[in-house]
Amino acid sequence: MFLEKKFELKVDPNLPHHYIIGVIMKELDSDNPGELHLKYGPLHFTNKDVENVQDAILLSRDEIFQTTTEESCKIHNCQSLVMALIGMKMAAKANHATMHHFSSELEIEEEWFVTLVEQANNSKSTKKTLMEAKIKT
């Protein structure tokens, strides 16, 4: 399960907002085959959510207070985030998508991610930014 692996994201106290997106290449029969396209997300969460997931992982591994992963997520109020991440990871794998993580000081509108991915098709620097944010799944 997802929590069996470490949930490690670079968390900076000055960048409390996190976003994960899924990117695919458009299919050969589309209008623009091979172009990058935002497929999933953005999934928004905060540093506090990351802490909750990390606490849930620790609790689920505790040998004294044996707790299932599901119970641990419920206790730490992170079950919807974990399920969304699991779903996104499974969908990305099934559709040959890549997942990317971004952090920000402020909340970002969804349209920013759409534009970022679209610009990555024509801009080497934007594509580099996108690829540097890629999560190894």
The pLDDT score that the predictor gives to residue 27 is 85
Task: Write down the pTM of the prediction.
Answer: 0.86
pLDDT band at 8 (very low <50, low <70, confident <90, very high): low
Buried b (16+ CB within 10 A) or exposed e, 93-128: eeeebbbbebbeeeebeeeebeebbeebeeeeebbe
Residue 23 φ then ψ, to 5°: -125, 135
Q: Domains of the chain: which residue ranges?
A: 18-135
The pLDDT score that the predictor gives to residue 13 is 85
Q: 63 and 70 in contact (C-beta within 8 Å)? A: no
pLDDT tens digits, residue range 14-48? 999 999 999 999 888 888 888 999 999 899 999 99
CA-CA distance, 28 to 120, in Å (whole number)?
A: 19
pLDDT tens digits, residue range 99-125? 999 999 999 999 999 999 999 999 999
